Amino acid sequence: MKRFYKNVSIENVSSEWKILLDGKIVRTPMRSELTIPTEKLATAIKTEWQDQNEMILPDTMPITQMMMTIIDRIRPNREKFANEALGYLDTDLICYFADEPEIYAAEQKKHWLPILNWLRDFLKCEILTTNALAALTQPQPTHKVISDYISNLDELKFSVLYLTTLTTGSVLLPIAFIENAFTESEIFEATLAEDLIKDKIYLAETYGISPDQERRRKIVRDELSGSRHFLDLCP
């Protein structure tokens, strides 16, 4: 889309902030007003609109896109999405350890055990792990604790948790991420522990990686990077 505006401004209305393009309020794809809960977030979104050149490129506006997703998709479906995120608990990525090959098992332990230990201390609940192929069922009290945690998140952090759960295949990793207990890099390496170790096995430095691996890594890296930036702008 060609840039159709000259001036970008923000306006405070009833404790919310709105983005104005030549004095007109920006709307989401579903035609809701783009309302923002904090001035810090609104200023970042204003900058994204100001930085557009002749063409408006949505991919260069991650904070705008995140807020629009929250307003159009996540806000009206929060209960459904909360249940969907909680549904990852019994099949959570970091609860299923390999026995062999040993190189995979060692890499999983290296990246997952510190996070699991932190989660148990932080959430004050039991988190089961397994080396078997059969699916786990986490204890009911654990489901309750994590359900309560999700319910108590504000809208912005809940949105990061939900989207990061879809990206990582884990509802536990996003908790550690949101609470800033582990770095973006550590969450990335935990998400792709098995995939990254293949670089050593198959001499990726010499032969490279497959397009699918490259694409998957970029998706995870971009999602985590965008989410961290968004969280840094949250209250």
Q: Which domains does the chain have, with CATH numbers?
A: 8-60 (3.30.2180.10), 76-233 (1.10.3580.10)
Specify the pLDDT at position 143.
98
| Residue 12's pLDDT band (cuts 50, 70, 90) | very high
The pLDDT assigned to 235 comes to 77
- Quick one: how far is CA 81 from the chain centroid? 13
Angle between helices 211-233 and 155-168 (to 10 degrees): 170
Check residue 101 and give its pLDDT.
81
pTM, rounded to two decimals: 0.91
Backbone φ/ψ region at 231: left (φ over 0), alpha (ψ -120 to 50), beta: alpha
What distance in Å separates the CA atoms of residue 210 and residue 204, rounded to the nearest whole number?
Answer: 9
pLDDT score of 109: 95
Say yes or no to pLDDT of 205 above 60.
no
Q: What percent of the chain has pLDDT over 70?
A: 95
Give the tokens for residue 159.
Answer: 């949105």
Amino acid 14: pLDDT: 86
- Residue whose pair of structure tokens reads 């001499």 in the numeric block: 203
Which residues are registered as beta bridge partners of 55?
Answer: 2
Q: Which two tokens stand for residue 85?
A: 């995120």
Q: Could you read off the pLDDT of 33-66 as tens digits, one per residue?
A: 999 999 999 999 999 999 999 999 999 999 999 9
Strand blocks (E) in 26-184: 35-36
Torsion, Cα 122 127 133 135, to 10 degrees, reads -110
Task: Give the tokens for residue 229.
Answer: 């930036």
pLDDT tier at 203, thresholds 50, 70, 90: very low
| pLDDT interval class at 209 (50, 70, 90) | low
The alpha carbon dihedral of 148, 153, 154, 157 has a sign of: negative
- Tokens 């090959």 belong to 101
